Amino acid sequence: MASNKKYWQSVVEIENASIVETLSKNEFVEEIPTDEFLGDKETLENSSTSRRDFLKYVGFTTAAASLAACEGPVKKAIPYVVKPNDTILGVADWYATSIANGQDFANILVKTREGRPILVMPNKEANGVTNARVQASVLSLYDEQLRLKSPKKGGEKISWGNSHKQIGEKLNELKEKNETVILLTGTLASPSTEQIVSEFIAAYPNVKHVAYDAISESGAADAFEAMFGSRAIPNYHFDKAQAIVSFGADFLGDWHGGFEKGYAESRNPDSGKMSYHVQFEANMSLTGANADKRVVTKSSDQVFALINLYNAITGGSLPSKSTPVDAEVKAAAAALKKAGSNAVVVSGSNDKNAQLIAFAINDALQSEVFDAANPLQIRQGNDAEMAQAMADIKSGKAKGLITYNVDPVYNSVAGLAEAIKKLKLSVAMSVQDNDTVAASEYVLSMSHYLESWGDVSISQGHYGLMQPTIQKLFKTTQFQDVLLKWSGNTNSYYDYLKGFWSSNILEGQSWNQALHDGYFKKEVAASVSKSSVDLNAAASALRGSVKGSGFELNLYSSTALGDGQLANNPWLQEFPDPITRASWDNYLLVSYDDAKKLEFDNPVKDNGAINGNYAKVTVNGVTIENIPVMIQPGQANGTVGLALGYGRKTNLKEDMQVGVNAYPFYANGQNVQYGATIERTSGPVHKFACMQVQKTIAGRHDILKEVSLKDYNDHSIDPKHTWNKPAVVSYDHEEVEAKTIDLWDAHNREIGHHFNLSIDLNSCTGCGACVIACHAENNVPVVGKDEMRVGRDMHWLRIDRYYSSEVETREEALEQGFRGGDLFKVLETSAKNPSVTFQPMMCQHCNHAPCETVCPVAATTHGRQGQNQMTYNRCVGTRYCANNCPYRVRRFNWFNYADNNEFDFNMNNEYGKMVLNPDVVVRSRGVMEKCSMCIQMTQATILKAKKEGRKVETGEFATACSQACTTGALAFGDVNNPEEEVTELVKDKRAFNVLDYIQTKPNVIYQVKVRNTNEA
C-alpha cells in the first residue's frame, strides 16, 4: 500500500518542532536590533555629519555616478596573428580525453572555448563516469594560487636545463654508490608510463618504484594477489546484480570508484528484476543511503557479520561470534542464495583477510558480478612497500626520494618532512604545491592532466587516451618527459606514447580514431587460476584485528574532497555533503545516543544556521583537538566518523584552510581504528555552514512519493488511487482532482519545442555530479562559508536529502499514545536508522508560475518552450518571486561575487575567470537568478539544426545536469517529439509533480522512488 512515511530533513525537526515552526512562519525570529544604532541618542547627536551634509553627499554621489555612467569604457579586440585552422571564435570544441590523477579515473569529454577548457562531461560512449570531483577538476587547472609555475631549487627558481643537469649528476652519483632512491607515485594505471618507469629503473637500477594510494585499498589488492596470483582489484558488474550485500563498502562513493552506472541499471523496476541491496555499515554513506535495507552495524560487528555470512552461505564454520545483526545476516544470506550467480558481496574493509572472505563468498556464490578475469587497474598502492620505503627514508637507508603528484607528508608519515631534508637527493614533481613540495630540495612543476598527453588503463582491456586541451599555462612539463630525459631517451613523450600504442595496444587499429574517441577497448583473453587460501587463518587473523574498548573511528573519504588533492577548489568546498548537507568542513559524526551521553549538541540558531561543539579525539596515542561534532542519524552507537582530505594548509587560500587533517589517525591504511576516546572540550562553539535546517518542509509532507517493489509490481493496484495519488481539492462540495481547477489560462504547448525534465528518484544516487556541472555551465558563483551558513548559497541545482521514519513528530507520537519517557524514546528510535531519499531540486519551470505573477517589473516571464525565463537586466531585486516560489529555488545575488576581494574565489582572479562560460552572463549584485533549464544549450542545439537545415534529432537536447548524470536519473528532452525518452516518462505511472496540490504545473517531473523491500 501507499507508504505512510513522513519526511524530515533534520533531527531538530522531530526533536523540537517549535523552532522549525517558528522558522517556517517568521523570517526574523528575533527582533532586528535597530535600536542598537538608532536608539543611541548620544552617538547620533555627536555625529559630525548633519542631516544637511548627508543629503549633500547623497546628491553628489548620485550625480557623480550618473556622470561616470555616461561614457562607456574603450574596449580592445585583439585577434590572433595566425588563427589556428580548427578554431572558430565563439564555437566550442570538444575533446575526448581521460582523467587519471591517482584518485579518479574516467573517460571524459572536455568542452573548450577559444582554447580554454571550461567544462568536463562523462564520455558516455566509453562508459565514462564522472563524480563531483571530476566535474570540478577543470577549475583546478586554473588554480594560480596552488599550481607550481616553474622548476625550483631550495625555493629559488631554476631553469629546466640546470635542474635536469644537477639532478642527473646526483642520480649518477647515487647510482655509482648503489644507494637506494625511492620513486614514489600514486596509482599510475598508465601502460606507457609504467614502461617508461621500468626503463628508467633499467638505467638506474638503484631506483625503486613504490606506488601508494592516499586512501588505501591495498587490502583488496593483497587479497587478490593471494587468491589469483596477480596484483589488482576485482571489477564488479553491478548491472548484473540481483542481490547486493555490502559490509561498509561505499561503492557509490569512493570505494574503487565508478560503479554508479551499473548499479543504477540493476535498480530499474521496469526491468522486472530490480536488485535487492543490503548495507551493513556504521557511518551513513552514500551507498547506505541508497540501500533497500540499511543495517546499522558497528565496524567490529561487521567483521563477524561477514564471517557469519560466509558460514551461512557455505555452511562452513570459520571462527566467529554472534553479533546483534545475526538475524539480518541470515536474511541477507537467504537473499543472496536466492539470487544465485547474480548475487555479490563486497566489503569496505582495507584488511586483506576481510577481502579474502568476501572473495570467497563470491566464489561460493559463483558470482557473475564479481570479475577477477578483467580486474580494475586503478588502485595499485601497496601499503607494505610504502611502509618499508618510508622506514628506509627515515632511517637513512634510502638516500634519495623522487615523488610524483603525491603528498606523503600531508598523508602523515610522521617525521618524513625532516627525513626528506636530510636526503642527498629529494625531487618533488607535482602539479600543485603541498607539504612534500615544501620539504623537497628540487621542485619540478608538472602539467595538469588537461595540458598533458597520456594513457590510462581503467580495467584490463579498457583504455583511455589523454590529450592536451589547452596550451601550457605555466612553465611545466610532464613526468614522462622528465623520466625519458633522465633515462637518456631523446624522444618526446608524445612520440613515445604513439609508438607504444601502435606496438602494444592498438593491434593495427587507427591511432587517430582512438585519439578522437578518447578510449579504446579490446578483448583480452582472460583466464585466472584461483589458488586456495587458508580461510581459517584469515578469519582468525581478522578476529584478532578487532580490539580495544572505546569508540570505533571510521575514516572515510568525503564526496566533495576525496583524498584532499582538490582542497583548494572552491566549487568542491562549497559542495554540500550529500548526507550531512554541510559544506566547507569536516566533522566528527556521532550517533544520537552517543551525543546525548557525551553532551554534544547541534543547536539551531534563529538565522537557520547550526552550531556545534568541539571534541578531543585520541586514537593509538594520537590526539587531535577541536574537531567539530555533528550528530548524524543512522550512525552506529559506539562509532564515530571523520572525513579524510581536509585540514590542508600549505599555500592554500585562507578560506579553503578548513577542517582538520584526519590522516594522523589513519594508521596502517586502516579505515577503522579501534579504541578511540572522545571528550567534549569546553570552548567556543563551532559554526557550521549547513543547508540542513534552512529548508524545512514546513509541514508540506507530500514532496516525495515512494512505493515498495511489491506494490509497484502488483497490477491489481491502481497507482492513481494508491501510491501515486494525485492531489484533490474540494470544488462545489465535491472532491475533484486538483488539476481540473485552474486560476490561469492554459498555455498552448503544441507548436514548436516544449522542454521537460524528468528526474528518477530511483536512479539518483545523490552523487552531486550534476550540481558541479551546473556550477560550471552556468557561472554559478561561490559565496563562501559565512554566506552559506546564513542560507545565501547560490546553487541553482541542489540535491535535497530527506530522512524518513514511521513516527515523525511529537504530535504524531502523542496521537499514538506515547507519553513521558516513551514519547522521547520513540522519537529517538526513529532517528536511529532513517531511510534516505535524494531529490534533485531546481527551478520547476512551472507553466503556471507563482513567481511570474508577482514580479512588478515582468523580469520573470514564460517562454513558449516551457522555460520560466529570468531576465537579469530587467530585475530590480524586490525578491517577491523568491518569496512566492513554493520550491525555494530562486537565488538572490546579495553581492557582486565577481571581482570582489571579499569573495576571493575563482571569479576574483584572471586565471580562475578563464573557466567561465562565455555564453552565460555573470550576474551582478541585486538580481535574482535561478535554473534556466540551460536555455543556452537548447538554443545552441536549435541553432545548429537551423544552420544545417534539418530537424533537431531525438536525444540531441540536453542540459548540463542531464549530460553529467551517468545513472540516467535526469532525462531531458522535447515532449512534442513522441520519440524522446522524456515523452514516455511524462506519461509513466511513476510520474508525479512535487507539491501538485498547488497546481503550478511544472515542466520538471519526478518518478516515484521504488524500494525493494524483498517481500515475496
Partner 1 sequence: MKSVALHNPLAKVLLKSFTFLLLFSLSFNAVAQDAIDEARQKDGRKLFKSLCASCHKLDKKFIGPALGKVEERRENDWLKAWIKNNAELRASGDKDAIAIFEEYNGSNMTAFPQLTDENIDNILYYTTVGEIVKTPEPGPDGYAPQPAPEAPKWLIFILAGVIAAAFLIIASLLKTISELKGAPKTPGLWGNSVELWEGLKRNTFLHVVGTIFVLLLSAYILFGALFTVGVDQGYQPVQPIMFSHKIHAGDNKIDCQYCHSSAKHSKHSGIPSVNVCMNCHKNIAEVADNTVVETEDRLYSKADLDKEIQKLYDAAGWDPEKLAYTGDEKPIKWIRIHNLPDFAYFNHSQHVTVGGVECQKCHGPVETMEELYQFSPLTMGWCIDCHRETKVDLKGNDYYKKVHEELAKKYGVEQVTIAQLGGLECGKCHY
Q: What whole-number distance in Å separates Cα of residue 605 and Cα of residue 29?
A: 9
The least distance separating partner 1 from the CB of residue 974, rounded to whole angstroms, comes to 12
According to the binding rule CB under 8 A, does residue 177 interact with partner 1?
A: no
According to the binding rule CB under 8 A, does residue 684 interact with partner 1?
A: no
Please identify, among the stretches 408-416, 451-459, 689-697, 748-756, the one whose residues bind partner 1 according to the rule CB under 8 A. 748-756
Residue of 2, 738, 945, 986 that binds partner 1 (CB under 8 A): 945
Closer to partner 1 by Cβ: residue 208 or 845: 845
CB of 130 closer than 8 Å to CB of 106: yes
Give the three-state DSSP class for 94.
Answer: strand
Size of the residue set binding partner 1 (CB under 8 A):
50
The least distance separating partner 1 from the CB of residue 748, rounded to whole angstroms, comes to 8
Residue of 69, 525, 743, 746 that binds partner 1 (CB under 8 A): 69
Q: Grid coordinates in use for 474?
A: 605555466
The least distance separating partner 1 from the CB of residue 280, rounded to whole angstroms, comes to 48
Neighbours of 181 (CB within 10 A): 24
The per-residue b/e assignment along 208-242, b for 16 or more CB within 10 angstroms, e otherwise, is bbbbbbbbbbbbbbbbbebbbeeebbbbbbbbbbb
According to the binding rule CB under 8 A, does residue 978 interact with partner 1?
A: no
According to the binding rule CB under 8 A, does residue 900 interact with partner 1?
A: no
Strands 276-281 and 293-296: parallel
| Alpha helices (H) in 270-346, listed in sequence order | 286-290, 299-314, 326-339
Please identify, among the stretches 11-19, 72-80, 174-182, 759-767, the one whose residues bind partner 1 according to the rule CB under 8 A. 72-80
Residue of 682, 751, 856, 910 that binds partner 1 (CB under 8 A): 751
Residue of 44, 89, 327, 814 that binds partner 1 (CB under 8 A): 89
Please identify, among the stretches 224-232, 412-420, 726-734, 915-923, the one whose residues bind partner 1 according to the rule CB under 8 A. 915-923
Please identify, among the stretches 76-84, 597-605, 821-829, 988-996, the one whose residues bind partner 1 according to the rule CB under 8 A. 76-84
Please identify, among the stretches 482-490, 505-513, 816-824, 931-939, the one whose residues bind partner 1 according to the rule CB under 8 A. 931-939
Residue of 31, 654, 750, 910 that binds partner 1 (CB under 8 A): 750
The angle subtended at Cα 872 by Cα 866 and Cα 876, nearest 5°, is 120
Phi then psi for residue 370, to 5 deg, are -80, 120
Residue of 861, 878, 884, 908 that binds partner 1 (CB under 8 A): 861
Q: What whole-number distance in Å separates Cα of residue 648 and Cα of residue 652?
A: 7
Q: How far is CA 14 from CA 27, 477, 537, 688, 825, in A?
A: 20, 56, 47, 20, 12
CB of 116 closer than 8 Å to CB of 470: yes
Q: What whole-number distance in Å separates Cα of residue 428 and Cα of residue 750?
A: 62
Residue of 373, 622, 920, 986 that binds partner 1 (CB under 8 A): 920
Contact set for partner 1, span 49-68 (CB under 8 A): 66
CB of 289 closer than 8 Å to CB of 766: yes
The least distance separating partner 1 from the CB of residue 358, rounded to whole angstroms, comes to 50
Residue 324: beta bridge partners? none
According to the binding rule CB under 8 A, does residue 854 interact with partner 1?
A: no
Residue of 364, 373, 667, 952 that binds partner 1 (CB under 8 A): 952
The least distance separating partner 1 from the CB of residue 224, rounded to whole angstroms, comes to 51
Q: Grid coordinates in use for 91?
A: 564555437
Closer to partner 1 by Cβ: residue 83 or 720: 83
Closer to partner 1 by Cβ: residue 113 or 170: 113
The least distance separating partner 1 from the CB of residue 891, rounded to whole angstroms, comes to 15
Please identify, among the stretches 36-44, 438-446, 524-532, 949-957, the one whose residues bind partner 1 according to the rule CB under 8 A. 949-957
Alpha carbon 469 to chain centroid distance? 24
According to the binding rule CB under 8 A, does residue 947 interact with partner 1?
A: yes
According to the binding rule CB under 8 A, does residue 925 interact with partner 1?
A: no
Please identify, among the stretches 52-60, 74-82, 255-263, 670-678, the one whose residues bind partner 1 according to the rule CB under 8 A. 74-82
Q: How far is CA 880 from CA 802, 856, 858, in A?
A: 27, 8, 12
Closer to partner 1 by Cβ: residue 318 or 898: 898
Closer to partner 1 by Cβ: residue 799 or 849: 849
Per-residue x/- marks for partner 1, 867-896, CB under 8 A?
x-xxxxxx----------------------
Please identify, among the stretches 307-315, 450-458, 681-689, 859-867, the one whose residues bind partner 1 according to the rule CB under 8 A. 859-867
The least distance separating partner 1 from the CB of residue 794, rounded to whole angstroms, comes to 16
The least distance separating partner 1 from the CB of residue 946, rounded to whole angstroms, comes to 5
According to the binding rule CB under 8 A, does residue 90 interact with partner 1?
A: yes
The least distance separating partner 1 from the CB of residue 890, rounded to whole angstroms, comes to 15
Q: What whole-number distance in Å separates Cα of residue 529 and Cα of residue 135?
A: 39
| Alpha helices (H) in 16-70, listed in sequence order | 17-25, 35-38, 41-46, 51-70
Q: How far is CA 642 from CA 504, 666, 675, 691, in A?
A: 44, 11, 15, 19
Q: Which long-range contacts (CB under 8 A, 24 or more apart) does 268-272 make?
A: 268/762, 268/763, 269/709, 269/712, 269/713, 269/762, 269/1010, 272/713
| Length of the chain counted residue by residue | 1016
Measured torsion, CA atoms of residues 544, 547, 552, 553, in degrees rounded to the nearest 10: -70
Closer to partner 1 by Cβ: residue 598 or 942: 942
According to the binding rule CB under 8 A, does residue 154 interact with partner 1?
A: no
Closer to partner 1 by Cβ: residue 693 or 846: 846
Residue of 33, 72, 154, 821 that binds partner 1 (CB under 8 A): 72
According to the binding rule CB under 8 A, does residue 86 interact with partner 1?
A: no
Residue of 32, 65, 78, 746 that binds partner 1 (CB under 8 A): 78
Q: What whole-number distance in Å separates Cα of residue 780 and Cα of residue 916?
A: 9
According to the binding rule CB under 8 A, does residue 993 interact with partner 1?
A: no
HSE-CB at 215 with a 13 A cutoff on CA atoms is 29
Sheet strands (E) in 645-762: 672-687, 689-690, 706-708, 728-731, 734-737, 755-760
According to the binding rule CB under 8 A, does residue 94 interact with partner 1?
A: no
According to the binding rule CB under 8 A, does residue 864 interact with partner 1?
A: yes
Alpha carbon 190 to chain centroid distance? 24
Neighbours of 817 (CB within 10 A): 9
Q: How far is CA 911 from CA 141, 143, 434, 566, in A?
A: 9, 7, 20, 17
User: Rg of the Cα trace of the chain?
Assistant: 29
The least distance separating partner 1 from the CB of residue 797, rounded to whole angstroms, comes to 16
According to the binding rule CB under 8 A, does residue 977 interact with partner 1?
A: no
The least distance separating partner 1 from the CB of residue 750, rounded to whole angstroms, comes to 8
Q: Grid coordinates in use for 73?
A: 569604457
According to the binding rule CB under 8 A, does residue 863 interact with partner 1?
A: yes
Closer to partner 1 by Cβ: residue 84 or 821: 84
Residue of 91, 526, 741, 814 that binds partner 1 (CB under 8 A): 91
Residue of 77, 525, 743, 746 that binds partner 1 (CB under 8 A): 77
The least distance separating partner 1 from the CB of residue 43, rounded to whole angstroms, comes to 39
Cα distance between the two ends of the chain: 14
The least distance separating partner 1 from the CB of residue 855, rounded to whole angstroms, comes to 11
Measured torsion, CA atoms of residues 901, 905, 908, 911, in degrees rounded to the nearest 10: 150
| Alpha helices (H) in 720-819, listed in sequence order | 769-777, 785-789, 810-815
Q: Which residues bind partner 1 (CB under 8 A)?
A: 66, 69-70, 72, 74-83, 88-91, 750-752, 859, 861, 863-865, 867, 869-874, 919-922, 932, 935-936, 939, 942-943, 945-947, 949-952
